[in-house]
Structure 1
Amino acid sequence: MTIEDLKRKDIIVFECMSGSHAYGLATSESDEDIKGVFILPKEDYYGLNYIDQVSNETNDIVYYELKRFIELLSKSNPNILELLYTPEDSVLKIHPVFEEIRSHNFLSKQCKDSFGGYAMTQVRKAKGLNKKILNPIEKERRSVLDFCYVADGQGSIPIAEFLNSNNLNQENCGLSRIPHMHEMYGVYYGENSFKGIYRKDTSNDVVLSSIPKGLDPIAIMSFNKSGYSKYCKEYKEYWEWVDKRNDARYENTVQHGKNYDAKNMMHTFRLLNMCEEIGRDGKINVRREDREYLLKIKSGDFQYEELLEIAENKIKKIEEEYENSSLPEFPDIGRDCKLNSV
């Protein structure tokens, strides 16, 4: 089923502008996001054609089937609660069925975890981004050889340096484990006699060779296998991030020089502030009165560490608000939302 099918069948019961336009945070560069709710005809709902969500390719337009909408509502999903309490000037279409649903209050103490928990996930995401920006990884992938060192006097040198200074090739080397010494190897040499130190640049480990009796090693080598595994994981994560990142947002991050995704951090603080307001006032304010403050975060007016400290203090305040809140522990969907009347 497509968005065109929903409109052709006239089964959309709610439709609104969402995101920055609903929050009052839209700028000239902001995209237009549309969300809504639809009710499937009985033959589709009870048949084999049930579908719980319809969206376009970019997810800028998303419609939830009513049953799925209620399920997410029962979990105090932030996106769904924001949709339910959308400001009137952002509502594009509403059916009496949905007006009845909107007349009930579904806020509960569960919002502390759904709003606050999601915000903390974004804070951790911001930390990860900060690390990636400050510690870029070269495109040329390092190999096993870069994590191997040989003893040299009272110290050590990279084995690549050792091989180069002695005009030796890694392909002609053979390795044998040294008993009782973790990741330590004897290095032997002989043209066309051994398997090399590693097979190929993408190898995950060194390779062992059969060593003839009586042959003395030319060096003692250590392989930092755990360090190499950690590097491979970080290399994969970093370049997957580079491939998938939003270049426009990344350029904004680089330009303001604070090394965090400012737009993401703005929405993190929006969620934290909304979470505090729900616990304190028992209502949700989708249209933000703290617009100027949030836009300053988006513009990079704050240092990264400063925002983290503010967020930590905000979370402590949220804990206090919800301890003293008169909100119910969970939304009573069965009482407040009688689906059998829809």
Structure 2
Amino acid sequence: MSFWHTNRILLVRVGSRAYGLETPQSDEDLRGVCVPPLDYLLGLETFEQHHEEEGDEETVALAKFVRLALEGAPNVVEQLFVDPADVLHTTRWGDRLRAEGPGFLSRRLGERLLGFARANWQRLEKHRRWRADQPPPEVTPADFGAQPGPQGNPRFPDEEARAAYRAAHKRWREFADWRSRRNPRRLALEERFGFDTKSAMHACRLLSQCEELVREGALVVRRPDAAWLRSIRAGEVSYEELRAWSEERLERLPSELAASELPARATVEGHALVAELQADFHGVELTRP
């Protein structure tokens, strides 16, 4: 058995099933944390993460996990706050890591929750325009006044025309990539309801989590508003209502977050925590300078 299994200190269920928002078709997403072998920690070998070939299971090294949590990555910090029923394997080192969870709550985490929610809505707006038969047209350099150069490269009349072509081509390329790679399930939601209701559901979840972080100083994973969020995915809430609900929070929450009592950054001493857990796992006594 590989060391990312034998040295695993924590394994949790994440994603829709951890939020309480799963459907019968939902995958079971698992995330683990492991302590690499001692020779990896002392020698030239490195290990950061391993993704199982079958299923959605990923294990990361403790040091990488803590580094990402310190940066306020929501999908990482969430692993420390999942419902006890979603903790599938733990050890005394995993328990110690989870006990540090409150120290990873910060304004930075809130900013990233807001950022992901805003990005979700920007994609929803763009895709909705494309669904409404307003896709960007495919363009050529000639559309912007370019003439063939001596080696076949287009020669634009000026830099403004070149920049305009590049911007228009980028918009078309984004549309073409989206159309060719569209997830069939998401496409079915868009065709049925006019927008990706699953993406809208998660955008609203992110905003609710940010609001709870600001008001309660907590990161709530298993959603108390699961019934409402499920109704969004089922297409029972209009796009206009969801957009208005979200815009109000996207406008209000940044100032509330800035004025909150949350620390600007995580307060966990990451280096000391990783050193302590890895030394204890391997039965090594730390020597302090």
TM-score range (shorter-chain normalised) is: 0.7 to 0.9
Assess, with a 3 A threshold, how the Cα gap between structure 1 residues 252 and 58 changes in structure 2: closer, same or farther: farther
Using the TM superposition, give the Cα deviation of residue 56 of structure 1 relative to its aligned residue in structure 2, in angstroms.
3.1
Q: Which residue of 1 aligns with 2:276?
A: 341
For the Cα contact (< 8 Å) 2:111–2:254, is it kept in 1? Answer: no
Structure 1, 311-320 or 28-37: larger mean CA deviation: 311-320
- Is the partner of 1:110 in helix, strand or coil? helix
Q: Which residue of 2 aligns with 1:305?
A: 240
- Is the partner of 1:50 in helix, strand or coil? coil
Q: Which residue of 2 aligns with 1:13?
A: 9
- Structure 1 position 292 matched with structure 2 position 289: no
Assess, with a 3 A threshold, how the Cα gap between structure 1 residues 251 and 233 changes in structure 2: closer, same or farther: same
Alignment of 1:222-241 (within 5 A): 231-241=168-178
TM-score (norm 2): 0.81
- Is the partner of 1:338 in helix, strand or coil? helix
Q: CA offsets per residue over residues 188-243 of structure 1, 9 Å max, x none?
A: xxxxxxxxx879xxx87589xxxxxxxxxxxxxxxx98776555333322221122
- Structure 1 position 98 matched with structure 2 position 94: yes
Question: What is the root-mean-square deviation in Å for CA atoms of aligned residues?
Answer: 3.0
Between the two proteins, what is the percent identity of the paired residues? 26
Assess, with a 3 A threshold, how the Cα gap between structure 1 residues 198 and 20 changes in structure 2: closer, same or farther: same
Unpaired segments of 5 or more residues in structure 2? Answer: 278-289
For the Cα contact (< 8 Å) 2:10–2:32, is it kept in 1? Answer: yes
The alignment covers a number of residue pairs equal to 269
CA distance in 2, matches of 1:292, 1:5: 40
Using the TM superposition, give the Cα deviation of residue 329 of structure 1 relative to its aligned residue in structure 2, in angstroms.
2.0
- Higher helix content, 1 or 2: 2
**Higher RCO (C-alpha 8 Å, min separation 6):** 2
Alignment of 1:5-84 (within 5 A): 5-6=2-3, 10-57=6-53, 60-84=56-80
For the Cα contact (< 8 Å) 2:10–2:33, is it kept in 1? Answer: yes
Task: Choose 1 or 2 for highest CA Rg.
Answer: 1
Amino acid at match of 1:248: R
TM-score (norm 1): 0.70
Q: Which of 92, 103, 126 is matched with 2:124 structurally? A: 126
Amino acid at match of 1:237: E
Q: Which residue of 2 aligns with 1:319?
A: 254
Assess, with a 3 A threshold, how the Cα gap between structure 1 residues 232 and 7 changes in structure 2: closer, same or farther: closer
CA distance in 2, matches of 1:34, 1:72: 17
- Structure 1 position 267 matched with structure 2 position 178: no
For the Cα contact (< 8 Å) 1:112–1:318, is it kept in 2? Answer: no
Divergent runs of 4+, >4 A: 136-139, 141-145, 203-207, 224-231
Using the TM superposition, give the Cα deviation of residue 108 of structure 1 relative to its aligned residue in structure 2, in angstroms.
1.6
CA distance in 2, matches of 1:336, 1:326: 25
Q: Which of 96, 113, 118 is matched with 1:115 structurally? A: 113
Q: CA offsets per residue over residues 283-303 of structure 1, 9 Å max, x none?
A: 111110100111111122233
